[in-house]
Structure 1
Amino acid sequence: MPSVWRSVSTLLLLPASISAVTLDCSHIRADKQSWNLEKLGGPKTVHRVRWERPSIENTTFTIDICGPLEKEKDLSKDEQCTSGTRICGREWDYPRGRDGFVKKVIPIAGEYSATHGRGMEPKYTRLKDSTGNTEGKEGVIVELHGGKYPNERSGTPQKAIIEFLCDKSVTGNEGFDNEKALTHPADYGMMEERRDDDNNDDDDDEPDLPDLDEYKNLKFISYKQEGDNEVLRLRWKTKFACEGVAKNKPSDPDTPEKGSSSSWGFFTWFIIILFLLIAAYIIFGSWLNYNRYGARGWDLIPHGDTIRDIPYIVKDFGSSVAGRMQGGESRGGYSAV
């Protein structure tokens, strides 16, 4: 009996795992408009570089809009975000005369139901309908949740707001192939020494730090406390944020796409509901047979004899169909005159 219940419990978990996929980057829809951001998939990085005397602080935000981030081989376990993360922040600290090290790891958005019960819960807003859009910008705003820092129930909730802005001249993937890095960060520490030697009394005067995202269309806007959440804001210019592009295949923007993804959503829910109804019928029937008749094994399952006979029924049906076809071809053993 326990093995039967374990099997049924495993079956019931399958629809939950299907419905847990809450962000489909190939079909984002808001206000009767659709966007396909599939071509922006894969890990992308954007930076916030600040001068925090006596160190340089470089917070690297890694984002994959289409799937969970994979583990990076050159980083230790403590320097990685947990499984299911879509947006991860790593705060690097570069003290003067020392190598950089990871000071914080911040899971900002992803599926963390097993950790502290929060999901990504994506929200989409058509940019033309957003408040404060007086310039008539075109695109979509994607809001993602799930993360906490520290990564526990008592941590501060995290949120990411990504503004995908229509720009027909770029794909949005430019600039990531030649990723910039803070080379020789000790040189920037020497800038502070030279500034002190010059007896500069202006404490607000900071050395010029490099723009690590100079040639990217993904830009860091802000990361700060907003209400009860710490909010990361990004802006991503891409032609895939233009309205009407999602009607075409990503590989060929001039070729109309066949079919509609909305029908697939209905079909998925139909399968899930049908699966749940069948599972509920089997569970209730098994419980009834066990408590009323003391049944065991196959006798627990409603119509167990019929289920066991299905292979033989199929075999007999196939043999019958094959026999009829052969009988029709032979004309009953007589030759035509």
Structure 2
Amino acid sequence: MILRHIISQSLPSNMLSLLLLLSTTVFVMAADFDCHVATGGMNWDLTPLKSTQTLTRTRESPPTTMVDELRFKLCKDLKSMKGVPDDEQCESGTRACLRTTNKKTSLDDRVIAVIPIASTSILEPEYAKLDSPKGLSLTFHGSPYPSSSEDSQSIKFSLLCADAAEEPKFVSYENGTAHVEWSTPSACGSQDGESPQEDDEDTPADGGGGDSDEKPTQSVGSGLGFFFLVLILAFAAYLVLGAYYNYSTYGARGVDLIPHRDFWREVPYMLQDVVSHLCSTVRPRQSSRGGYIAV
């Protein structure tokens, strides 16, 4: 508590703001969809479906033809398409994008609509187990299109259990919702408790109790390592940005480049005071009544 009070009183407000911003970013990243789903007593690992998929459908509208191109990526954001103008493709942070191109003989193709159907910032994934046929229903959400509209965009995946993988199908796009049907073994899933048994096959049979005790420890260790990595990166960013600010604003050189140099000089003394206070608190007080003194 004392150290926390010292830090809150001594650290500059801009550094505290930077650390709070980075910690918030970490929590957002941790809550992001990672292609692992658990619902209805079943578990699904969708990482085999992580590649970018491009589906098309053609609609005749004489004298022109409409071509709808649906690009999506389940586990990560879509990458920008090379050679395509920025205004003819979805912006970064998009999971599913729908482009409509108007084609007419003797005329150049025209992109008449670019719709971000699902965005990572508001993905809000929804899951539901499918019983007949067996599989998983997965829905991603996006912003309203156009921006003046009240209806948000979304894409619904019907992932159907199959012995062999098939190409996904662009079923429909109605009322702002795209529907994709995909038959794949990854949609079969496994019941709760089956995955740990499969992992034990690759490990020595030294007893189930030992393995179950080690897995949570590894998970905690990994989380702590990631936390300290973020702190180190935040501190490095603070030093680099602070040094650049001192250089560009005050023309500082050498040691003067260190941001808030006077504060960092006082850190060892503050720690020494904290340790001394803790030691004096823990050390038992000597009794003033130690016995009689011979006269």
TM-score range, shorter chain: 0.5 to 0.7
Structure 2 residue matching 1:12: 3-state secondary structure: helix
- For residues 126 and 50 of structure 1, what CA distance do their matches in structure 2 show? 32
Instruction: Tell me which residue corresponds to 2:153.
Output: 158
- For residues 224 and 265 of structure 1, what CA distance do their matches in structure 2 show? 45
Instruction: Tell me which residue corresponds to 1:243.
Output: 189
- For residues 265 and 144 of structure 1, what CA distance do their matches in structure 2 show? 30
Classify 1:244/1:309 alpha carbon distance in 2 versus 1 (closer, same or farther; 3 Å).
same
Asked if residue 18 in structure 1 is aligned to residue 26 in structure 2, the reply is: yes
Instruction: Tell me which residue corresponds to 2:15.
Output: 7
Gaps in structure 2 of 5+ consecutive residues: 1-8, 204-210, 231-259, 274-295
Q: RMSD across aligned C-alpha pairs, in angstroms?
A: 4.0
- Structure 1 residue 103: deviation in Å? 1.0
- Structure 1 residue 149: deviation in Å? 1.4
Partner of residue 89 from structure 1, selected from 70, 77, 98: 98
Asked if residue 63 in structure 1 is aligned to residue 72 in structure 2, the reply is: yes
**Matched-pair identity in %:** 27
- Structure 1 residue 99: deviation in Å? 2.8
- For residues 149 and 68 of structure 1, what CA distance do their matches in structure 2 show? 19
- Tell me the TM-score normalised to structure 1 length: 0.55
- For residues 221 and 122 of structure 1, what CA distance do their matches in structure 2 show? 20
Classify 1:138/1:265 alpha carbon distance in 2 versus 1 (closer, same or farther; 3 Å).
farther
Checking the alignment, whether the CA contact within 8 Å between 1:121 and 1:145 is kept in structure 2 is yes
- Tell me the TM-score normalised to structure 2 length: 0.63
Checking the alignment, whether the CA contact within 8 Å between 2:142 and 2:153 is kept in structure 1 is yes
Instruction: Tell me which residue corresponds to 1:44.
Output: 53
- For residues 202 and 53 of structure 2, what CA distance do their matches in structure 1 show? 29
Classify 1:242/1:13 alpha carbon distance in 2 versus 1 (closer, same or farther; 3 Å).
same
**Structure with greater helix percent:** 2
- For residues 53 and 68 of structure 1, what CA distance do their matches in structure 2 show? 35
- Aligned AA (1:158): Q
- For residues 99 and 65 of structure 2, what CA distance do their matches in structure 1 show? 14
Classify 1:300/1:88 alpha carbon distance in 2 versus 1 (closer, same or farther; 3 Å).
same
- Structure 1 residue 243: deviation in Å? 2.2
Classify 1:307/1:161 alpha carbon distance in 2 versus 1 (closer, same or farther; 3 Å).
farther
- Structure 1 residue 306: deviation in Å? 5.7
Classify 1:31/1:298 alpha carbon distance in 2 versus 1 (closer, same or farther; 3 Å).
farther
- Structure 1 residue 72: deviation in Å? 0.8
Partner of residue 221 from structure 1, selected from 171, 175, 181: 171
Structure with bigger RCO (C-alpha 8 Å, 6+ apart): 1
Classify 1:88/1:266 alpha carbon distance in 2 versus 1 (closer, same or farther; 3 Å).
farther
1:201-254: per-residue Cα shift (whole Å, max 9, x none)? Answer: xxxxxxxxxxxxxxx2x01111111xxxx11111111001112299669xx999
- Structure 1 residue 78: deviation in Å? 0.5
- Aligned AA (2:117): I
- Aligned AA (1:123): E
Q: How many residues are matched?
A: 220
Checking the alignment, whether the CA contact within 8 Å between 1:69 and 1:83 is kept in structure 2 is yes
- After TM superposition, list the pairs within 5 Å mapping 1:125-204 onto structure 2: 125-128=128-131, 136-150=132-146, 152=147, 154=149, 156-170=151-165, 172=166
Checking the alignment, whether the CA contact within 8 Å between 1:93 and 1:102 is kept in structure 2 is yes
The more displaced of 153-162 and 52-61 is: 153-162
Checking the alignment, whether the CA contact within 8 Å between 1:140 and 1:164 is kept in structure 2 is yes
- Aligned AA (1:222): S
- Aligned AA (2:170): F
